[in-house]
Amino acid sequence: METEEKIKEMVRQKYAQIAFQSQAENAASCCGAVGCGTTEVHSIMSDDYSALDGYQPEADLSLGCGLPTQFANIRPGDVVIDLGSGAGNDCFIARHETGEHGKVIGIDFTPAMIAKAQHNAQKLGYQNVEFRQGDIELMPVSDNLADVVVSNCVLNLVPNKAATIQEIYRVLKPGGHFSISDIVLVGQLPPAILEASEMYAGCVSGAIAKDAYLGHVAAAGFVNVVLQKEKMIYIPDEILLRYLDQAAIDDFRSGPNNIFSITLYGEKL
The whole-angstrom separation of Cα 130 and Cα 83 is 12
Average pLDDT, the chain: 90
Residue 157 has pLDDT above 60, yes or no: yes
**What pTM was computed for the model?**
0.91
Band (135; pLDDT cuts 50, 70, 90): very high
CATH (residue range 4-267) = 3.40.50.150
Distances (CA, A) of 30 to 25, 33, 61, 105, 258: 9, 10, 16, 33, 24
What are the φ/ψ torsions at residue 104 (nearest 5 degrees)? -125, 130
The whole-angstrom separation of Cα 41 and Cα 57 is 20
**Which of 124, 130, 127 has the alpha carbon at shortest distance from 146?**
130
The domain ranges of the chain are: 4-267
| Contact call for residues 180 and 29 (beta carbons, < 8 A) | no
Residues near 223 by Cβ (< 8 Å), separated by ≥ 6? 266, 267, 268, 269
As a whole number, mean pLDDT of residues 49-70 equals 91
Residue 29 has pLDDT above 80, yes or no: no
As a whole number, mean pLDDT of residues 105-111 equals 96
Distances (CA, A) of 147 to 73, 81, 223: 10, 8, 15
pLDDT of residue 44: 78
Percent of the chain with pLDDT over 70: 91
pLDDT of residue 27: 52
| Contact call for residues 152 and 90 (beta carbons, < 8 A) | yes
| β pairing state of 172-186 and 258-267 | antiparallel
pLDDT of residue 10: 86
pLDDT of residue 24: 58
**Which of 23, 4, 52, 255 has the alpha carbon at shortest distance from 120?**
23
As a whole number, mean pLDDT of residues 243-258 equals 94
pLDDT of residue 37: 46
Lowest mean pLDDT among 27-41, 123-137, 150-164, 180-194: 27-41
Computed from CA positions of residues 157, 266, 232, 248, in that sequence, does the dihedral angle turn out positive or negative?
positive
Q: What one-character DSSP code corresponds to residue 110?
A: -
Tens-digit pLDDT profile for residues 82-96: 999 999 999 999 999
Residues near 102 by Cβ (< 8 Å), separated by ≥ 6? 74, 76, 77, 78, 79, 80, 95, 128
pLDDT of residue 152: 96
Residue 185 has pLDDT above 50, yes or no: yes
Residue 36 has pLDDT above 70, yes or no: no
Residue 28 has pLDDT above 60, yes or no: no
Residue 38 has pLDDT above 70, yes or no: no
